[in-house]
Amino acid sequence: MCFMKKLMEIKNLIVEKENFKILNGINLIIYEGVNTFLCGTPSSGKTSLLKSISGMQKYKGHIIKNCKIEVLFDDYSFSKDTILEELDYDTLNDKQKKIVNKFISKTTLKKNPFVVEEKTKKLVLLCQVLLRKPQLLFVDNLFSDLDKKTMYKILSYLKVKKITFVHVSTCIEESLNYPYMVILNKGSVAVEGKTLQVLEQEKILKRLGIGLPFYVDLSIQLRLYGLIDKVYLSKEELEGALWK
Amino acid sequence: MEIEKYIEFGKINAVLNLDSLDFNFREEIHVLRIKPKYKNINVKKYLLEKTSCLEERMLSSLKLVHMEEDILEKKMNVLSTSEKVKVELAVLLIQNVNCIVFNKFDSYFMEKELLFFKKLFLKLVKKYKKTFVFVNSDLSFLFDFVNHLVVKKSKKDYLVLEDPNFYEEELYSIMDCPPIVDFVKYLNEQGKKILPYIDLKELLKAIFREV
């Protein structure tokens, strides 16, 4: 990784509120193109980390930003009557309109953002940050209201546009879509590394109360039984390995 | 609210595929909500404002939702999101409400805590005939847990499953299929005879017997 561009570097990040340490010296580097899944134990400081990055929260330590960074939170603060107005659609150029139209249909654009389904609300928020052309995007729990098809559409768009993506979520199944994984515990980084390598440390994860994605969990247990020799991440591969 | 008529009282309900989460339920149905901002007061004072209960009652409810005594002195606006959910749940338990609706409950917790809460909710249903409603987009969290499943098919059409069979084909014309169901279905399509398990340990034993 040392030859890759550092998009952001966090050094000894400490957040204290009311004499209570929420972040306890976090060190983290996000490299260009390395999409990361970030999860953590309850009250581990995930939201505080995002708030610090977005500048919404005071902190001690250093957040070195080497590119345009956006943070998308899991809450809505719409103020206009239509999605069109919310996105300032009429003032957008053709390229920007294309981004919006990729995720939101023209008929939906005329609707009130408060009354549309949750999925659409999230897509409006996503479009708002994408229009600001980030190179690094942090997202809090984006996919909990979206179907898999939409999730893969977003991931593929971000890949094509070369936007590095850090997804904060409790849904461990989603971790397999990311090459890198970071787990927070009690305001510090507990484990980080290549996703599969992190997930294979099942004893540490169990101690932290974090489950495993289905195929990783099943593969690890089948390996203990001596039925397979490695972790398989798809049904076809796993079936093939079991009944070879 | 259309969905109200599908709720089965005294059971663990799950409602899937809803468009909007702006609920306006009738009085006896309480939605657990966390506020974007809380007053600068500690948990003890917040619980007192909400419930006027004695400290002993506060402590037993907090214990019930897996929180330690020292949380009482913590300020509400310092709590993490999952702690706020637990405090709001403690409030509803102290108020002894009969029906609680949760929105995306599993998005606040990891596996260990989810297992703890599953056991708690099952106990409260069995012992006190409480009603819980989980509005969710994912099925996996609901296995071994839900006894009344409602899935919105279209604007006015709902699929209602009592003691649901998670291998029901119709379910997956509407929802994404959870990995364990998808894998077992695939194995059967490939000619392997594996029963419709929803528990990984059971599936593991079945594979061991079959291979």
Query: pLDDT digit string (tens) for B146-155?
Result: 999 999 888 7
Q: Do B207 and A18 touch (CB under 8 A)?
A: no
Q: CA A109, CA A87: separation in Å to the nearest integer?
A: 9
Global pTM? 0.92
Asked if the Cβ–Cβ distance from B82 to A42 is below 8 Å, we say yes
ipTM value: 0.90
A83: domain CATH number?
3.40.50.300
Do residues A222 and A191 both lie within one domain? no
Residues A36 and A89 reside in one and the same domain: yes
Quick one: A142 and A220 in the same domain?
A: no
Rounded to whole angstroms, the Cα distance separating B211 from B168 reads 26
Alpha-helical runs (H) found in chain A: 46-54, 83-86, 94-103, 106-109, 118-130, 148-160, 195-199, 202-208, 214-224, 235-242
Contact with chain B for residue A211, Cβ under 8 A: yes
Same domain (yes/no): A86, A203: yes
Residues A115 and A17 in one domain: yes
At B42, list the tokens.
């500690």
Q: Is B52 exposed, middle or buried (0-12, 13-18, 19+ CB in 10 A)?
A: exposed
Asked whether residue A49 falls in the same domain as residue A121, the answer is yes
pLDDT at B1 over 80: no
Provide the pLDDT confidence category of residue B23 given band limits of 50, 70 and 90. low
Residues A134 and A228 in one domain: no
Same domain, A51 and A74: yes
A4 touches B at CB < 8 Å: no
Cβ separation A170–B140 shorter than 8 A:
no
What are the E-state strand segments in chain B? 12-16, 29-31, 99-103, 131-136, 148-152, 158-162
pLDDT digits (tens, 9 = 90+) for B68-92: 999 999 999 889 999 999 999 999 9
Nearest-angstrom CA–CA distance, B125 and B134: 14
Q: How far apart are CA A124 and CA B100, in angstroms?
A: 30
Partner-chain residue, chosen from A170, A172, A221, that has the shortest CB–CB distance to B108: A170
| A106 and A190 assigned to the same domain | yes
Same domain, A83 and A38: yes
CA angle, residues A195, A220, A37, in degrees to nearest 5: 20
Per the CB < 8 Å rule, is B78 touching A20?
yes
Total domains in chain A come to: 2
Residues B11 and B125 sit within 8 Å (Cβ to Cβ): yes
The SS3 of residue B125 is helix
The two three-digit tokens of residue B95, written as one number: 């108020």
| Domain limits for position A231 | 213-244
Q: Under an 8 Å CB criterion, which residues of B touch A?
A: 19-22, 36, 74-75, 77-83, 104, 106-113, 137-138, 140, 176, 178-180, 182-183, 186-187, 190, 192, 200, 203-204, 207-208, 211
> A117 and A221, same structural domain?
no
Q: For residues A30 and A44, state if they share a domain.
A: yes
User: Mean pLDDT by 10-residue block, N- to C-terminus, for chain A (244 residues)?
Assistant: 88 92 96 97 93 96 98 86 96 96 95 88 95 96 86 95 96 95 97 97 94 96 95 96 92
